[in-house]
Amino acid sequence: MRHIALEEAFSVPQWRAELDWDNLPIGRELVATWTRKLRDMTEYRLPDMDEHGIDIQVLSLTVPGIQLDQAASAARDNARVANDYLAGVVAEHPTRFRGFAALPMQDPKAAVEELERAVRDLGFRGALINDHLGGHYLDEPRYDEFWSALEELSVPLYLHPGAPPADSWKVLEGHPEMYSAAWSWAAETGGHALRVLFGGVFDRHPAATLILGHMGEFLPFMRSRLDSRYGTFTPENPLRHRPSHYIGTNIVITTSGVFSPAALTGAVLEIGADSIMFSIDYPYETTADAVAGLANTPLGDEDRAKIAHGNAERILGITV
């Protein structure tokens, strides 16, 4: 079966390693392996794809990416460098790779301009950003033009974890194993997505699509609870629909890093197979585990094909 994977990281070879791993209880040897694979396209990545039946990877700049730059001028320059580098990679391997744009969200107008350039000139299939920007979130009015651009271009935004923390979260103190991909990133990014939802972004921009990885950062499994509690509130600006309406329509998910057949089955039952896309989280996760997780899920062939490749082809506009 054809597989398209769309949370697959790379780094620009001439840049330093971008994420500070020193504060996480992760072995140095593993970090060194990740660093080599992030910078590589042909020695490790393509053979790994071939071995496990991955037809296409949609590549995106690894965390924290452009959001590490607080100065708007540096963010604008670095986004362009990263996107031009990625465009070159895709041009060398046009049947195997596609791209998500890195964007200078520090300057919303420049982010729109770079998104338009990346989609129209470079052929990218959307954009990926790493959560908040120094405590600023995408429900803020200054990003309204950005959401309009996503609608106009008919491309999705992948909201990924990994921004430097905006504040201190006491529950994490003394337990670094709870920080980052193990738990806190999902809670932070899922919370960001809820800000977008409750902020009425999808009512103002009904054609916008937000992608969440890691089986939806907890949200598919909270739909009924969100509806129940929202029904007790009297918000100043009420939503046009119940919260659950937006999760599975405007908000779609990928399987990246969560390869449990039970979790995927539950997500299909909750939001439907049309709203889920296969992903790996390469090189931080193992391609064999990702493929096996989908293969071992008790789904019919039609739903399995949608998740493996069909939904990505439709949502990202990927043609063979």
Residues with a catalytic annotation lie at 281
The torsion angles phi and psi of 210, rounded to 5 degrees, stand at -115, 130
In the chain the first and final C-alpha atoms are separated, in Å, by 14
Omega into 283 within 30° of 0, i.e. cis? yes
- Beta-bridge mates of residue 9: 60
In angstroms, how far is CA 263 from the centroid of its own chain? 18
Contact between residue 83 and residue 101 where contact means Cβ atoms under 8 Å apart: yes
Task: Please count the residues of the chain.
Answer: 320
Contact between residue 186 and residue 214 where contact means Cβ atoms under 8 Å apart: yes
Token pair for 244: 């659950």
Contact between residue 252 and residue 276 where contact means Cβ atoms under 8 Å apart: yes
With H, G, I as helix, E, B as strand and everything else as coil, classify residue 313.
helix
To which residue do tokens 């770079």 refer? 114
Comparing CA positions, the residue from 35, 29, 31, 46 lying closest to residue 12 is 35
